[in-house]
Amino acid sequence: LLFLTQHRIFFRSFVGSRGATQAVLTFLLIPCCLTQEFRAPPFIPNVSFLWGWNAPTELCAQKFNVQLDLNLFSLIGSPRKSATGQGITLFYADRLGYYPHIDEKTGKNVNGGIPQSGNLKKHLEKAKKDIAYYIQTDSIGLAVIDWENWRPVWARNWKPKDIYKHQSIELVQQQHIELNVTEATKIAKADFEKAGKCFMQETLKLGKSLRPNYLWGYYLFPDCYNHNYKKPDYNGSCSDLEKKRNDELNWIWKESTALFPSIYLNTILKSSPYAALYVRNRVWEAIRVSQVSSVKHPLPIFVYARPVFTDVSLKYLSEQSCTELDNYMKNTLNPYIINVTLAAKMCNQVLCQEQGVCIRKHWNSNDYLHLNPDNFAIQLEKSGRYTVQGKPTLEDLQQFSKQFYCSCYADVRYMRWCFKKKLLAVNFG
C-alpha cells in the first residue's frame, strides 16, 4: 500500500500478508550496468524521471479560478516577468543583462544590436543584479537562458536573422574601406562569432558562480534543424552538416551544466509518424552533445515539450482554454505521467538496481516504457488523487529486458555487466 502525499497517488497492488508493496520474483540474466554509456545522476535525489512545468498557467487560477493540478511536477516556474524565486527561471532577452540584439518588430538596435557592438562589461554587471533578483536563494533549480534573436554560428543566421550578417559586414566595411565584400565577410564572420561566444560563455560563467546549485544552459541548445518533415522521404535525421555545426559549439556544451532542447510539434505533425522521428532524432543529438565535455559525466538533458500541437508560439490563456487544459491534465496528461514514471521506476529497479536508467536497445524503435494495460489501471478518484491498481508479471519484466538496457549513472562506483540469478524485489516506494 503506497500513498504518495506529494504526488497524490494511491497505489493499490499485490499486497501480501505483511502488507509489503512489492513483487518478489525470480528473474534471470539481469544486466546491471553497461560500462560504455552513462547518464547524469538524478538532479533531485530518488527522482530519476523528472517532470517540470514552465508555463504561465497561474493566470488560470488568478483570472478564472481554475486550479490546475501540478502536484506531479517536481520543478515549477512561470515565464512571466514578475515571477521570482522559482524552481525554473527563464531568462528572456530583456531580463538578463544587456543582451545585444535587433528588435524584430521595429528593426532598431538594442544594446548595440550585433554582439560585437555590445558592451560585455556592462552586460555582466547588469546580469549579476538580474540573477540576484530572479534567483534570490541558491537552492536547486533550472536557469534557462532564452536568447533567440541571433545564433552564435554565423551560417545559421538565415532569413530573417541574416540582418546580423549584413550589419556585421557593414561594420567591417566602415572600419576598412579598402576591403571588398568577400574579405569583409570573412572578418565579419570571425568578429561576430567571437563576440557572440564571449557574451554567451561569460554569462554562463557568471550564472554558475552566483548560483552554483542551479543548472545553467540555453533554451533550444542543441538544435539540429530537422524541420523538413514535408518531404515524403523524411526520416527525422539530423544532417551531418548540422552535427558539424553543433560541434563548433563545443564551448557552449563544456560551459553549460544542462541542455535544454525543444521538441515542440506543429499541427502538421498531428497523427503523423514523422512526429516520433522528429523528436527522437533531436533528443538523440542532445544525448550525443551531452557527452562532449566528458563521456563518463554527461550533462543532464531537460527536453522542452508542449502538451498540445500548435503553430502559435505565444497564445494568451482564455477561460475556455484554462478549463480545457484542466480537463486534459486530469484525464490524459497526469495519468500518462504516472504511467511512464512507474514503468520507468520498475524498469530501473529490475535492470539497473536503481543505479541507472533504462534506455532503448534500438534508439529509433517504437519501444516505450509503459505499464501493461492488461495488468494496470490508473483512475482519478473524486478526492482528486489517483489510484493505480495492478501488479507486474514476470512477462512484463522480461519485456523490459528484451527492449531496454541499463545506462549507469555517472557516479556509480562499480560499473560492469553482472548476470545473476537472484530474488528481485520491485518496490514502488
pLDDT at 377: 96
pLDDT value at 150 more than 70: yes
Classify residue 357: in a domain, yes or no.
yes
pLDDT at 60: 92
pLDDT at 133: 98
Classify residue 356: in a domain, yes or no.
yes
pLDDT digits (tens, 9 = 90+) for 58-81: 999 999 999 999 999 999 999 999
pLDDT at 36: 64
pLDDT at 10: 41
pLDDT value at 20 more than 70: no
Classify residue 61: in a domain, yes or no.
no
Instruction: Report residue 388: phi and psi, to 5°.
Output: -120, 120
pLDDT at 21: 41
Rounded to the nearest angstrom, the gap between the alpha carbon of residue 345 and the centroid of all alpha carbons in its chain is 19
Nearest to 32 by CA among 411, 408, 285: 408
Return all residues near 102 (Cβ < 8 A) that are at least 6 apart.
108, 109, 110, 113, 114, 149, 150, 163, 164, 167
Residue 321 banded pLDDT, cuts 50, 70, 90: confident
Could you give the percent of the chain with pLDDT greater than 70?
A: 85
Residue, of 307 and 300, whose pLDDT is higher: 300
Nearest to 359 by CA among 344, 376, 378: 344
Residues annotated as part of the active site: 148
d(CA 249, CA 99): 19
Classify residue 361: in a domain, yes or no.
yes
pLDDT value at 259 more than 60: yes
pLDDT at 314: 55
pTM here?
0.88
Classify residue 232: in a domain, yes or no.
no
Classify residue 94: in a domain, yes or no.
no
CB crowding 174-207: b at 16 or more within 10 Å, else e: eeeeebeeeebbebbbebbbebbbebbbbbbebb
pLDDT at 7: 38
When pLDDT is averaged across residues 302-320 and rounded to a whole number, the result is 75
When pLDDT is averaged across residues 15-26 and rounded to a whole number, the result is 37
Average pLDDT, rounded, for the chain: 87
- 397: three-class secondary structure by DSSP: helix
Sheet holding 376-380: strands in order across? 2-4, 9-13, 386-390, 376-380
Number of domains in the chain: 1
Classify residue 200: in a domain, yes or no.
no
Radius of gyration, alpha carbons of the chain: 24
Classify residue 416: in a domain, yes or no.
yes
d(CA 225, CA 150): 15
When pLDDT is averaged across residues 257-273 and rounded to a whole number, the result is 94
pLDDT value at 156 more than 50: yes
pLDDT digits (tens, 9 = 90+) for 339-378: 999 999 999 999 988 889 999 999 999 999 999 999 999 9
pLDDT digits (tens, 9 = 90+) for 271-283: 899 999 999 999 9
Checking phi first, is residue 402 left (phi over 0); if not, alpha (psi -120 to 50) or beta? alpha
pLDDT at 218: 99
pLDDT digits (tens, 9 = 90+) for 157-211: 999 999 999 999 999 999 999 999 999 999 999 999 999 999 999 999 999 999 9
Sign of the CA dihedral with 106 first, then 101, 128, and 299 last: positive
Residue with cell 515549477: 76
Could you give the percent of the chain with pLDDT greater than 90?
A: 74
Structural domain harbouring 27: 1-53+336-429
- Give the amino acid at 151: R
pLDDT at 227: 96
pLDDT value at 248 more than 90: yes
Residue, of 38 and 158, whose pLDDT is higher: 158
pLDDT digits (tens, 9 = 90+) for 116-144: 999 999 999 999 999 999 999 989 999 99
pLDDT value at 28 more than 80: no
pLDDT value at 9 more than 90: no
| Start-to-end C-alpha separation, the chain | 9
